[in-house]
Structure 1
């Protein structure tokens, strides 16, 4: 136990039996027993209790029990208490660091700070520390002497973190506000030291932890001069750039699959998300925030129906854990938007646009000769291999430094955070015309990253023609950007053919807004957007061709099997025949069986014809835009109908054969079993039903055009 921290015990136990007993009590959270263990062993209170170099005093700080901490410190002399308070573990954390990280009760910090305030450094301890420093270099002596003269609130661990920084990093808002208040009460304490570690600011730390209530408090209390919001962290990111990289923290990117989750999220109250000390968010923006805070939302102001609604949901959240989890997500989204609103108001990076573009980039460059995909690839390999490799390296570098070079506005556009986009246009209307050093504006970024919601919003903006005519430093238009697959993130649609169709549909939508004189414009490699589309989607085309062939063959086999079964069933009359006529020809169930059998045969043969037409069709790139997906969808629909009617015909046959009486309890059981296959099939295919409106609108756009235009006009009205 008396060995130095750097030494390693080999062949023996570095913990005594007393320490092991204390470790067991700590693991089981038996704090009374933990305190009794050191009643007669107070000398071991300053010994290491774990491998991280924490003492029993440090471990007691994690209990969030002020009486336990005060009781253990009371067993020590004044000199020993100073040692316990100032002792650092192997991570450089003092007792106050541990309290700031793990404790919710501010009384824990008061115990340490009050002791520091009322008790001077014992002379005996100063003499002993000077003897220990005799072997150190002059620089190390100076650093340690300066640190020992500092208040405990200024002490840093090995990462350069103060207790205030620790509280912000771990989202402990209550402890953070209390420590800052105590620091303000001590004139000798330098509050500025808490604002920045060697690598990142305290505001960056709170945003990294997604503690947006802490971030709001720091902005309004500790960053009145905008010093923190504008600084960059170790990745050269400002706070707003960092926030723009968190799409999951905003409501627009939250898309739960369960209907109940969506419903509860929308019904939860929108008020009550301000932190303590601020009556409204407008007051927060005015900078009138007072010291103090809490993590949970507070009820809305009285006198509104929303207060009763808040109380009801508060009770339900206490009863149902899943409602509480949804509410926590909504709280995070609301607070993140408030942080974004404050940071956007203070950001002016969008004003830095680069207008020194070469004059020749404004001239449309046409390709010398149009080639097919294979020949174009060979040309790129033979003549421009070196240049293409250099471009690929630049693109990879661009991916790595994407968030460094782009403003928060463009980063938000790449991640689809439409809330930040709206905040920018509200605070800085002219920011929509901002473009990066590479010449990319918000439209280029949105189409390149397939952010459809932002693209739809841009289509209604008056600046759209100007944005669409922009050409980048690489001579690329917005149509070139959508043809590239560097930032393709996949698609929720089933099958490679439908995914390729979605890409082609996306290309067509962008093509409509790009000026026609830029459709044949070439980039610096003399590639048009169509050439780039062919080359970039070559592998996806091969996957779609193979997938649609395999799917058509499999489905046609199933359709033929269904046709064989229902054809044979037509000659096996259920219930028997007499004189060539069915005995149950007038029974409703028999008529139902006959209709279902005929429908199953007709639709199964129709699906066979449709799948065979797919196998005989050409598989070129633009055939996957309308023709092939339409045939495949119709074939799927015919096969689905034929399978469903076949199962219904089977169920009708069972009912005719058994002829149970309705009053018999076994009849209900048999009828349910007969209809069971239909029910299972419907439930399994239910996810496909949700895709039908999307596929239908893409395959038959002319039929949906009138409906969409009517809907838009009604919304504008």
Structure 2
């Protein structure tokens, strides 16, 4: 037995020395033990199964703080596995476990047994060449006897090796623990009362979960953590479909079990799902097929409302459509937050075609997307629109009183107008046309909301229904007419959708001018100059509300004009001087008729140079004049509607043209000088010349295009065939 102890002693010595010499002190390092057979024989026949061995570095007497490494003994292999370092006090009273006889009876000079706390010491003489302290203590920390470990923290410590195995998906290691300690199958191994099955499921180890499910009794699968979640909740969140099927097959009741939030696994799966993740979508669809409609049903009441709203929030419109078709009551059920399905859809305008308008640049980038991405997006929009139609169809089956009550008590129309979900407003109005005139929770009509948030499409919809004629004559609170509502500053969310203070001011003027020109035609004569309770007309209120925005617009316009005029002035100076210092020089032969003429006058490159230089000069001068006229403007409100934007457009166009032609002139001049020696020189010059022109276009073209569209483009209040399009 002494020889065995010596072998063990030498193995630990060499292995730990190797750890510290290589600066390795981490999880998962294996130490070979050549006497593993003796360990197996002693441990497997012992009354108390072994705990993991702890190597503890001690630099002072045993009653001081010590640092130890957890060592997990693998029963079917010749290794001890070193886990992470921890700090532990050495004066605890451990239970008197039966250590292998050769460790307590036949200890050599290098090994000592502390009978007070059943600790085993290995002399530092054995490890004198390492960076260890005075001694290494072998401590018993993985107790399989749970009778003396009632405290949860002790249980967590007890099962930390199992916890790490579940966290890493190490089934072989976990299986050996379960073989020695079957109670570990259902034991709580964290302070949150999670079992090994919970941990493996949360970590996404499907095979580990499937193997563990086969070992556990069916009722053990119903064990919950402190949040009331079963393992199926974890599996649903992780999208482990095979594991979910194995669990449901073994215990079908798992699909009906609720956590502390009253969520069944189906709701958890929907909450964790992503429309771009096929695995998570398949998990939701699978749980939809196996979750039963039985009391208490997850498809009715608050549970049903939460389910449908979470499905919509996760962009699972096809799943939500299936649920509403199967359970029509979900069309009007409220979630735990008080939301219904239509309200959830109203907050997602990007799910509809009207919410996916793109700029020219965005449209260009969109054309490079894969066919699958484009198809998936179009399919999602079709599902979203079909869902809205299905919900409205179910609402239309109610009585007029119930419909009116539903829309007055919900925020559907207000949210749809705020976020610009035109399709929802269309479908709701189609269901009940009088919705245009009802007052919502905000005490505002749809028309007022559309004006407040500057939703042109919804405003056009109201006009197409001729509802504007009726509502334009309304007298609102504080004697405000519809013109007073238009005169108020737009919501910041709507303002920020337009770039630049000047363009924001232009958009505000377009709204107000349209009402002056169009809406006044249908209002009563006495309402056109009507004053509110503060004695202000619509125009007076507009000036007051937009005073700060006007100042910002003036500053933005001046700063932009100053910067551009500086660049245009530099270009004018450069190209003007270039006209008198022609490339190649002039003919100095006084006897020749060509005396004083440019030497390369008859070449094509010189003609390009001359035309480009002249074009750059004239266009840059024009740009300077335009920007100067902007700086000298009076900056009245009406100037921002057409006058100033038109000058800025002309200045931008000429500045861009002057930059391009100046680069062409430079390239032509360089070709004239160098082409005699290098005939290929025009090619790289032309390529490099494209770089600054392209950069300027990419950086400034979006603003230029926006200016042109907002100034010269079609009206934002255009109507298609003067009729409302009811189908999409």
Distance between the aligned counterparts of 1:28 and 1:260, measured in 2? 45
- Please tell me whether residue 537 in structure 1 is matched to residue 566 in structure 2: no
1:654 Cα deviation after fit: 0.4
- Residue among 436, 441, 449 paired with 2:445: 441
- Residue among 581, 585, 603 paired with 1:587: 603
Distance between the aligned counterparts of 1:558 and 1:115, measured in 2? 76
Contact 1:100 1:175 in 2 (8 A): yes
- Residue among 189, 192, 199 paired with 1:52: 192
Partner of residue 505, structure 2: 500
Partner of residue 563, structure 1: 572
1:166 Cα deviation after fit: 3.3
1:112 Cα deviation after fit: 5.2
- Please tell me whether residue 91 in structure 1 is matched to residue 231 in structure 2: no
- Residue among 680, 690, 693 paired with 1:681: 693
Within a 5 Å distance, the mapping from 1:4-403 to structure 2 comes to: 9=153, 14-16=156-158, 19-20=160-161, 22-31=162-171, 33-61=173-201, 69=209, 71-75=211-215, 82=219, 84-105=220-241, 108=244, 111=247, 114-115=250-251, 153-170=255-272, 184=292, 189-192=294-297, 195-197=300-302, 201-221=306-326, 223-224=327-328, 226=329, 228-255=330-357, 258-259=362-363, 262-263=366-367, 323-347=371-395
Distance between the aligned counterparts of 1:4 and 1:512, measured in 2? 88
- Please tell me whether residue 633 in structure 1 is matched to residue 649 in structure 2: yes
1:650 Cα deviation after fit: 1.0
Deviations 1:256-290 (A, max 9, x none): 5543664478xxxxxxxxxxxxxxxxxxxxxxxxx
Distance between the aligned counterparts of 2:399 and 2:465, measured in 1? 18
Contact 2:301 2:333 in 1 (8 A): no
Residues 1:709 and 1:160: Cα distance change in structure 2 (over 3 Å): closer
- My pick for the range that moved more, 335-344 or 193-202, is 193-202
Partner of residue 672, structure 2: 656
Partner of residue 707, structure 2: 695
Distance between the aligned counterparts of 2:622 and 2:285, measured in 1? 72
Distance between the aligned counterparts of 2:214 and 2:337, measured in 1? 46
Residues 1:51 and 1:529: Cα distance change in structure 2 (over 3 Å): farther
- My pick for the range that moved more, 606-615 or 249-258, is 249-258
Residues 1:595 and 1:109: Cα distance change in structure 2 (over 3 Å): closer
Distance between the aligned counterparts of 1:529 and 1:241, measured in 2? 33
Distance between the aligned counterparts of 1:66 and 1:650, measured in 2? 66
TM-score, normalised relative to structure 2 = 0.66
Contact 1:93 1:156 in 2 (8 A): yes
Distance between the aligned counterparts of 2:362 and 2:719, measured in 1? 30
1:114 Cα deviation after fit: 4.3
TM-score, normalised relative to structure 1 = 0.67
- Please tell me whether residue 481 in structure 1 is matched to residue 485 in structure 2: yes
- Structure with greater strand percent: 2
1:74 Cα deviation after fit: 4.9
Partner of residue 132, structure 2: none
Deviations 1:386-443 (A, max 9, x none): xxxxxxxxxxxxxxxxx99664234212211122233234444454444436663333
Deviations 1:178-233 (A, max 9, x none): 66766659xxx524356345895332332333322332232222x33x2x432333
Distance between the aligned counterparts of 2:582 and 2:350, measured in 1? 60
Residues 1:555 and 1:177: Cα distance change in structure 2 (over 3 Å): closer
Distance between the aligned counterparts of 2:291 and 2:649, measured in 1? 69
1:35 Cα deviation after fit: 3.8
Contact 1:31 1:68 in 2 (8 A): yes
Distance between the aligned counterparts of 1:67 and 1:677, measured in 2? 60
Partner of residue 274, structure 1: none
Contact 1:648 1:675 in 2 (8 A): no
1:582 Cα deviation after fit: 1.4
Residue 15 of structure 1: SS of its match in structure 2? helix
Distance between the aligned counterparts of 1:444 and 1:353, measured in 2? 24
1:673 Cα deviation after fit: 2.7
Partner of residue 612, structure 1: 628
1:351 Cα deviation after fit: 5.9
Contact 1:241 1:411 in 2 (8 A): yes
What's the RMSD between the two structures over aligned residues? 4.1
**Residues matched between the structures, number:** 556
Partner of residue 383, structure 1: none
Higher Rg: 2
Deviations 1:635-660 (A, max 9, x none): 22222222222211111110111124
Specify every segment of 5 or more residues in structure 1 that has no aligned partner in the other structure, as ranges: 117-150, 266-321, 356-402
- Please tell me whether residue 409 in structure 1 is matched to residue 417 in structure 2: no
Residues 1:562 and 1:5: Cα distance change in structure 2 (over 3 Å): farther
1:65 Cα deviation after fit: 8.1
Residue 577 of structure 1: SS of its match in structure 2? coil
Distance between the aligned counterparts of 2:411 and 2:163, measured in 1? 51
Residues 1:213 and 1:553: Cα distance change in structure 2 (over 3 Å): closer
- Residue among 513, 519, 531 paired with 2:518: 513
Contact 1:244 1:408 in 2 (8 A): yes
Query: Which has the bigger relative contact order, CA under 8 A and spacing at least 6?
Result: 1
Distance between the aligned counterparts of 2:490 and 2:147, measured in 1? 57
Partner of residue 136, structure 1: none
Contact 1:101 1:166 in 2 (8 A): yes
Specify every segment of 5 or more residues in structure 2 that has no aligned partner in the other structure, as ranges: 1-142, 274-279, 588-594
Distance between the aligned counterparts of 1:543 and 1:96, measured in 2? 57
Contact 2:166 2:197 in 1 (8 A): no
Residues 1:4 and 1:408: Cα distance change in structure 2 (over 3 Å): farther
Deviations 1:535-579 (A, max 9, x none): 222221111112222222222222222221112111112111122
1:469 Cα deviation after fit: 3.5
Contact 1:231 1:238 in 2 (8 A): yes
- Residue among 582, 585, 588 paired with 1:573: 582
1:473 Cα deviation after fit: 3.6
